[in-house]
Amino acid sequence: MSILPIVTYDDPVLMKPGTPVHPEHPGLQDLIDDMFETMYHANGVGLAAPQVGHSLRMFVVDADVITEEEENGEKHGPGVFINPEIEILEDDYWDAEEGCLSIPDVRENVTRPFRIHIRYYDRDFQWCEAEHEGWYARVLQHEYDHIKGVLFIDYLGSFRKRLIRGKLEEIRKGAVKTEYPLLSRKPATGQR
């Protein structure tokens, strides 16, 4: 297994929807193992394939550390979500602070639906569906956004966006230190 570099928010791979994953995708099981290794090494609770440069509809999560405090006491350990579809269950929204391994040192409040229904394939391509709420549902939605080309900072209003502009610029220039390998692939001039 290897630790893969995580691309920064300005990378083109994070701005486009991923393609569906085929069961015979070359190196799929190794990529999943590497994504877990990369996520644990960076102390993340979720990691989407585009964040390691693969434009695929797939993400991994292990949210035990942030969901163990929740009331229903459900365990949310290692999970692989392939070609997922998320549906919002109720008109019930809540705010909480989010961060992202591709946007180090930036944490902002994001409003998200509280309860969701998710359908997906696991790493053995078994069809699964489940309902989730609270923090786990939030993590799943954050990662799901990544495979659609959406980042949590896209939800911020113009005021908050202005406040983090300096920090985003530092990340883009590779001036932010992280405990994990970050890959800042600057797009060609004129592309942004």
Q: Which residues contact Ni ion by CB under 5 A?
A: 100
Instruction: Show which residues are catalytic.
Output: 143
Q: How far, rounded to the nearest angstrom, does the alpha carbon of residue 99 sit from its chain's CA centroid?
A: 9
72 vs 111, which CB is nearer to Ni ion? Answer: 111
For residues 89 and 107, give the distance between their C-alpha atoms in angstroms, rounded to a whole number: 26
Q: CB 78 → Ni ion: shortest distance, Å?
A: 17
Instruction: Return all residues near 154 (Cβ < 8 A) that are at least 6 apart.
Output: none
For residues 31 and 13, give the distance between their C-alpha atoms in angstroms, rounded to a whole number: 16
81 vs 190, which CB is nearer to Ni ion? Answer: 81
Q: CB 189 → Ni ion: shortest distance, Å?
A: 26
What residue is closest to Ni ion based on CB? Answer: 100
Torsion, Cα 52 50 89 99, to 10 degrees, reads 50
Q: CB 101 → Ni ion: shortest distance, Å?
A: 6
125 vs 167, which CB is nearer to Ni ion? Answer: 167
Q: Give 93's strand partners.
A: 113
